[in-house]
Amino acid sequence: MELFSLMYAFFVSLPAWVLFVPPAVLLLCLVPLLWFRKRRLYLWCSAVCLVGGVLLSLGMEEKVLYLALFAGLALLPLPLFSIPKRKREKREEKLSQKFKAETEEPFPLRRNDPPKVCCFEEQHGETPEERGMKLSYVISLLEKLKREKLTPADRLEVEMLSRSVTGAQTRPLTDPEADDLSDSLSAILRLTAKYS
């Protein structure tokens, strides 16, 4: 109990001008906290300053009036924290806004492009059946070759040949493609002779 009586005696012995310290500290804290929109931290600072004001006004006769004025002063700037902070426009945004109209304009509908001219016409070839090649027999030979014990190189060659033959079975072939197919057929005959 002596501790509390010593504390009370200390706060009562302080000069009267000390009562202005908590509101001054609160106003000093208000400026940066308002700038950074830290409302919760401002409430904590105002509560600490209010407790300091209560302690400093222990020996005062008009203690209730002082605390009411101090609480009003603490609550007065709270609506300022709800005002949204103005965002600064970045340089890139300013430039994009400046040239936005030019980039959003539609391109002209009428263009002065030269007419399309084909330098060559697509060659319409004949299918292998029309050229007299029976690829169904060749495919059955390839299936027989796949069942044989082939060397890895020959197995790879058989796979490649079967892909090229099945790909050429239904589509029309140009003359160079027909020559390639003929080379593939001769390779199939060579492999068939090798493994029969």
Neighbours of 188 (CB within 10 A): 20
pLDDT mean across residues, the chain: 84
Position 28 scores a pLDDT of: 93
Q: Is the model's pLDDT at 105 over the cut of 60? A: no
Tokens for 102, please give them: 């030019």
Count the helices and strands in the chain (H runs, E runs): 9, 0
Tokens for 122, please give them: 């697509």
Q: Is 156 exposed, middle or buried (0-12, 13-18, 19+ CB in 10 A)?
A: exposed
Angstrom CA distances, 56 to 2, 22, 43, 82, 126, stand at 19, 9, 20, 31, 107
Prediction pTM value: 0.43
Dihedral of alpha carbons 56, 62, 66, 72, sign: positive
pLDDT tens, 112-127? 777 777 776 655 677 7
pLDDT tens, 7-32? 888 888 888 889 899 999 999 999 89
Residue whose tokens read 């009428």: 110
Residue type for position 45 = C
* Phi, psi values for residue 122, rounded to 5°: -70, 135
34 touches 46 (CB < 8 A): no
User: Regarding predicted confidence, which is higher, 192 or 171?
Assistant: 192
Q: Is the model's pLDDT at 138 over the cut of 80? A: yes
What's the CA gap between 150 and 196, in Å, rounded?
11
